[in-house]
Amino acid sequence: MTGALITLDRERRVNGWSEGAARLTGWQAAEVVGRSIDELRADDDEESWLDRDGSQLALSDVTTELRDENGDLAGFAIHLRAPGDSQLLLGRLIESEEAERRRLAADLHDDSLQAIIATRMRLQILLDRFEGDDRLADDELSDLKQLDATVRAAIERMRRLLFDLRPAVLDSHGLGAAVNTHLDQLRAEEPVETRLIERTETELPHGRRAIAYRAIREALANVRKHARATQVEVTLHQDQDGLTATIADDGVGFDASDAALSEGRPRGLDFARERVEAAGGSFQIDSARGRGTTVELRVPAASDA
Ligand SMILES: Nc1ncnc2c1ncn2[C@@H]1O[C@H](COP(=O)(O)OP(=O)(O)OP(=O)(O)O)[C@@H](O)[C@H]1O
Ligand SMILES: [Mg+2]
């Protein structure tokens, strides 16, 4: 199963470097894209990877050739993983990243956002006061209104950032409620009918809930961007073993085997799959041109489930 994905062009130069690859090797995508993969390996030993200080990393990899529609070599894909309990390790890393996001979102919410909101309230009190009399000249008053609009926009941006970092509704009201906010948004933007079928006995633990949420959000973002669907149905089943979710649309569909390779760089669905699999889950795409798309994913409640 995937731990991390690296893609190479025909000359074995890196052109795709997933977040997982950055985590496992310490190299960031920007540092390695365009370089020959052989510079990152010890000698010709395929199983031997070097970190930035030149010391060896215990990683194993599987390389597959990528071919274009004529069957010509287009490049390579390397699945990289730490040996042994790599899935477990990666899963823990992702969960701790989620915990970190949650903390950061809570801090920003309680501190910075509250401070800006308080500032705006005082501004409005001032505005109310000055609007009623003529102590301020018109242009001064309009400056003040301008300031108020700027602060209001900053609050909006901050709320969006926080939602992106970690939607509070996910922790307070659960996965179904968080998914619902995205369905509401989808309906507001697209002429599409949506349905959520939910059976929740218990919610996933916070870290895993966020992993599942991000995968579902990616599938829904794809519906908005690519599907041109008239109907979207999401099912969520959660019990003490874990979550099973499907996101099904009746849109244009695509050839899943093509799309994964087309640009050689991992994209939304690859990242979603990587995170879900790192949590010990599974991720499947069922799609064909003209027949809509169904994404099915499963996230167990614990790594050994
Ligand atoms: N629900 C869908 N309906 C139709 N086509 C889809 C759907 N989901 C994915 N695709 C196709 O699969 C491709 C890969 O999807 P993926 O989410 O990995 O990347 P992306 O959406 O193009 O880019 P990113 O997610 O990084 O913004 C898309 O470009 C699109 O062609
Ligand atoms: Mg996408």
Residues, CB within 5 angstroms of ligand 2 (ion): 222, 268
**Model confidence at 73, in pLDDT bands (50, 70, 90)?**
confident
Burial of 93 (0-12, 13-18, 19+ CB in 10 A): middle
Q: Which ligand 1 atom sits nearest the alpha carbon of residue 293?
A: 1
- Does residue 85 register a pLDDT over 60? no
* Closest protein CA for atom 25 of ligand 1: 268
Q: Best mutation site among 18, 218, 233, 269 for ligand 1, i.e. most ligand atoms within 8 A of its Cβ?
A: 269
Least confident of 5-19, 90-104, 257-271, 290-304: 257-271
Q: Best mutation site among 19, 267, 271 for ligand 1, i.e. most ligand atoms within 8 A of its Cβ?
A: 267
Q: Which pLDDT score, from 0 to 100, does residue 287 have?
A: 94
What angle is formed at CA 161 by the lines to CA 208 and CA 266, rounded to 5 degrees?
A: 60
Mean per-residue pLDDT over the chain, rounded: 86
Q: Which pLDDT score, from 0 to 100, does residue 1 have?
A: 37
Q: Are 236 and 295 spatial neighbours (Cβ–Cβ below 8 Å)?
A: no
- Does residue 107 register a pLDDT over 60? yes
- Does residue 10 register a pLDDT over 70? yes
Q: How close is the Cα of 214 to the center of ligand 2, in Å?
A: 11
Give the distance from CA 25 to its chain's centroid. 20
pLDDT in tens, 242-264: 999 999 999 999 987 775 555 56
Q: Best mutation site among 192, 217, 220, 226 for ligand 1, i.e. most ligand atoms within 8 A of its Cβ?
A: 226
| 249 φ/ψ angles, rounded to the nearest 5 degrees | -125, 160
Give the pTM.
0.68
Q: How close is the Cα of 268 to the center of ligand 1, in Å?
A: 7
Q: Which pLDDT score, from 0 to 100, does residue 57 have?
A: 78
Mean pLDDT of 72-83: 78
Indicate if ligand 1 lies below 6 Å from the C-beta of 279.
Answer: no
Q: Which ligand 1 atom sits nearest the alpha carbon of residue 256?
A: 12
pLDDT in tens, 204-217: 999 899 999 999 99
* Closest protein CA for atom 13 of ligand 1: 259
Nearest to 124 by CA among 94, 101, 152: 152
- Does residue 265 register a pLDDT over 70? no
Q: Are 186 and 221 spatial neighbours (Cβ–Cβ below 8 Å)?
A: no
Nearest to 254 by CA among 229, 286, 285, 288: 288
* Closest protein CA for atom 17 of ligand 1: 268
Indicate if ligand 1 lies below 6 Å from the C-beta of 259.
Answer: yes
Dihedral, CA atoms, 149, 150, 155, 161, nearest 10 degrees?
130
Distance CA 245, CA 241 (A): 13
Element (DSSP H or E) covering residue 300: strand 293-300
Distance CA 161, CA 105 (A): 9
Give the distance from CA 255 to its chain's centroid. 22
* Closest protein CA for atom 12 of ligand 1: 259
Indicate if ligand 1 lies below 6 Å from the C-beta of 16.
Answer: no
Residue 12: DSSP 8-state: -
Write the single-letter amino acid at 250: D
